[in-house]
Amino acid sequence: MDIITHKCPNCGGALTFDPSDQKFHCPFCLSVFTEEEVSEFEAKQKAATLASETIPETKTKTSSLDPPAEETMQLFLCPSCGAEIVTDATTAATYCYFCHNPVVLSGRLSGTFLPNKVLPFKIEKEQAKEKFLEWVSTKKFVPSDFYNEEQIEKLTGVYFPYWVVDAKGQGQLSGSGTSIRVWRVGELEYTETKQFSVQRQGDFRFKDLVKNALSKNVQQKMVESVQPFPLENAIDFKNQYLAGFQAEKRDIEYQTLEKDVENELKDYAGSLLKNSVNTYTTFRESSRDLSLDSIEKNYMLLPVWLVTYRSPGSDDVFYYAMNGQTGKVSGILPISYKKLSLVSGGIFAILAILLMIGGYFI
């Protein structure tokens, strides 16, 4: 498997993608490049290597210590410093913990695992930190170590894998509708009941149904909570956009989800048809026939800023997540019972003083 660090064309430093201007920055010589410039440079480098007869083509190979493919953890060598990088089987982009250069495990995002599209980060890390502190500052009973400097530095940009589905279909629905009209003439009340045979039919089109493609995604709830993603901003995948972020590859194939997706789409289509029957007092459905004419699926990587927190002495994990494009935030926060007890104690003390003062004046 090839392990890639995207190099600066000027000085050879490791490039990272900057969400603020959607370009690639070198932290060493401060050069800035577009995706086209980086791709063009790397294509020339590859062509020169292939054309060379005196210098054999070299690739960074996985360590001979790599465990079998079925093992969870795998070992690779950093192309910049040669240090060992330990990842699990679905990690596709990460950092070298020794030289801190971003690396992309390109073999995990190639062939059948090549994403169709990627939605690049739009919010940079400093913005993400500011929003995190702003959000946490409104929560009164959060323990201080949830948002201390060490915890803030753990805020990580991660590309999560998803199946995004578009579909077209048609359907029809039949049933009986009842219309009831009540009126009064003098002291008499009249009720008129009419029965109708009701049919509805139509074509439907669904766009951007997002389904999780990572089985280990224990953060699934937090990622769902920051949806929707502006998928119209997604672009054709190039692994340069992963530089400087973590990324996961899918381990759930669409075939595993296919039946559930079809049932979900058909249920929603049936609901749309049923909701169109809105002129009757009551409606009883007798039959429905729904079919999907075409389904188009895309494998996408979607951006999330993420930080997790484990309470001292507890197995409970709390989190904060933010949509890397829109800035929408969500989280489940820990409670500092010390802060809560201090506030509660203060309230009881004030109440006690007020009662004493009130009793004194009585």
Q: pLDDT tens across 197-235, in order?
A: 999 999 999 999 999 898 875 556 667 788 899 999 999
Nearest to 210 by CA among 194, 193, 200, 223: 223
Q: How far apart are CA 129 and CA 288, in angstroms?
A: 51
- Amino acid code (one letter) for 284: R
Between 136-150, 182-196, 241-255, the lowest mean confidence (pLDDT) is in 136-150
* Domain residue spans of the chain: 3-114, 159-338
Q: How confident is residue 93, by pLDDT bands cut at 50, 70 and 90?
A: confident
Q: What is the mean pLDDT of the chain?
A: 79
Q: Taking the CA of residue 296 as centre, how many other CA atoms within 13 Å lie in the half-sphere pointing to its CB? A: 8
Q: Where would I find the H helices in the chain?
A: 35-51, 125-136, 149-153, 220-225, 254-275, 337-361
Categorize the per-residue pLDDT at 66 as very low, low, confident or very high, splitting at 50, 70 and 90: very low
Helix H segments across 239-336?
254-275
Q: Which of 70-74, 109-113, 165-169, 258-262 has the lowest mean pLDDT?
A: 70-74
Q: How far is CA 58 from CA 61, 81, 94, 209, in A?
A: 9, 15, 22, 42
The answer on pLDDT for 124 being more than 70 is: yes
Question: Does the pLDDT at position 152 exceed 80?
Answer: no
Take residue 123 and report the two structure tokens written for it.
Answer: 């919010």
Of the listed ranges 151-165, 190-204, 250-264, the least confidently predicted one is 151-165
Highest mean pLDDT among 102-106, 140-144, 232-236: 232-236
User: What confidence category does residue 70 fall into, taking pLDDT thresholds of 50, 70 and 90?
Assistant: very low
Residue 314 vs residue 277, higher pLDDT: 277
Of the two residues 154 and 33, the one the predictor is more confident about is: 33
Distance CA(10)–CA(25), nearest Å, equals: 11
What is the pLDDT at residue 336? 45
DSSP 115-131: -SEE----S-HHHHHHH
CA distance 87 to 97: 11
Dihedral sign from CA coordinates of 351, 353, 356, 358 = negative
Q: Are residues 194 and 178 in contact, defined by beta-carbon separation less than 8 angstroms?
A: yes
Q: Percent of the chain, pLDDT > 90?
A: 36
Instruction: Classify strands 91-95 and 246-248 as parallel, antiparallel or unpaired.
Output: antiparallel
CA distances for 266 relative to 169, 290, 298, angstroms: 9, 6, 20
pLDDT per residue as tens digits for the range 283-292: 999 999 999 9
What are the structure tokens assigned to 102, written together?
A: 């971003």
For residue 112, the one-letter residue type is T
Q: 6, 24 in Cβ contact below 8 A?
A: yes
pLDDT digits (tens, 9 = 90+) for 328-358: 988 776 554 454 444 444 455 565 555 556 5
Comparison of pLDDT for 73 and 294, the residue scoring more: 294
Mean pLDDT of 30-39: 89
